A and B are shown apart, each in its own frame.
Chain A
Amino acid sequence: MTAALVIAAAAVGFVFSLSGVVGILRMPDVYCRIQCSSKTVTMGALPVLLALVIGEGPFSVYGSRALLVCGLLAVVNPAASHALARAAYRIGIPMWHGAVEDQPKEQWLAERE
């Protein structure tokens, strides 16, 4: 039973990590790649760590460290993705030529005036 749960959680994590890697390689501009990267962490890394917690127990050495890394990733990764996307927008990396909307631009121009 435990082994089945561990294998299921690890498989979910692997599938989402695979989709994130394909997205990082194939997406057209940097903003889409940042979105794929943060999805890789949220749905790809957390199930694998959860598999470790299920397999070893939450109070063992390995399970407790896996829970710690889980909390760390869940808190810090959105902040890092946000800061990176903001920096990419501020230094003027162009969007994909097929992008249809640029809302922050209007907001930014309004702030400047």
Chain B
Amino acid sequence: MLPDVYIAVALAEIGLAAPLLLRLALGPSICDRVVALNAISTQATLTLLCFAAFAQRTIYLDVGLWLSSFSYLGTLVWARYLERGLL
């Protein structure tokens, strides 16, 4: 019962991340693209965690943890770069 719920949630989150690629492709400014990328990486983290619980593989948990922390680091770096330049 529960593994079916987990794989359904994982597939649903992937399905939600797919339309965001449209915003990533045609966002008018670069901030729109960063917002879309941020949301996509959050959905990818959720997908990885739910898939790890479905497949009983603990290695995906570490992948999701690192993905979430480094995607936010990337957003912060983009914001700082846009605001103050490269250095």
By a beta-carbon cutoff of 8 Å, the part of chain A in contact with chain B is 2-3, 6-7, 10, 13-14, 17-18, 20-21, 24-25, 30, 33-34, 37, 40-41, 45, 48-49, 51-52, 55-56, 61-62, 65-66, 68-69, 72-73, 76-77, 79-80, 83-84, 86-88, 90-91, 93
Binding site for A on B (CB under 8 A): 1-2, 5-6, 8-9, 12-13, 16, 19-20, 22-23, 29, 31-32, 34-36, 38-39, 42-43, 45-46, 49-50, 52-53, 58, 61, 64-65, 68-69, 72, 75-76, 78-80, 82-83
In the complex the two chains form, is A93's CB within 8 Å of B31's CB? yes
The 19 sampled A-B contact pairs (Cβ below 8 Å) are A14-B12, A21-B16, A25-B20, A51-B5, A52-B53, A61-B58, A65-B61, A68-B65, A69-B65, A72-B69, A80-B72, A84-B35, A84-B75, A84-B78, A84-B79, A87-B79, A87-B83, A88-B31, A93-B29
B20, B64, B68, B80: the one contacting A24 at CB < 8 Å is B20
Q: How far is the CA of A55 from the CA of B4 in the complex (A)?
A: 12
Residue of A nearest to B69 (CB): A72
CB pair B75–A83 under 8 Å, yes or no, is: yes
B23 near A80 (CB under 8 angstroms)? no
Shortest beta-carbon distance from B11 to chain A in Å: 11
Minimum Cβ distance to chain B for residue A93 (Å):
5
Expressed in whole angstroms, the Cα–Cα distance for A84 and B76 within the complex equals: 7
Q: By the criterion CB–CB under 8 Å, are B9 and A80 in contact?
A: no
Most B CB within 10 A of own CB, among A3, A45, A56, A90? A45
Question: Are the C-beta atoms of B76 and A83 separated by less than 8 Å?
Answer: yes
Q: With A65-B64, A69-B65, A88-B29 in contact, do A6 and B5 touch (Cβ < 8 Å)?
A: yes
Please tell me if the beta carbons of B32 and A76 are within 8 angstroms of each other in the complex. Answer: no
Which chain B residues border A45 with CB–CB below 8 Å? Answer: 42, 45-46
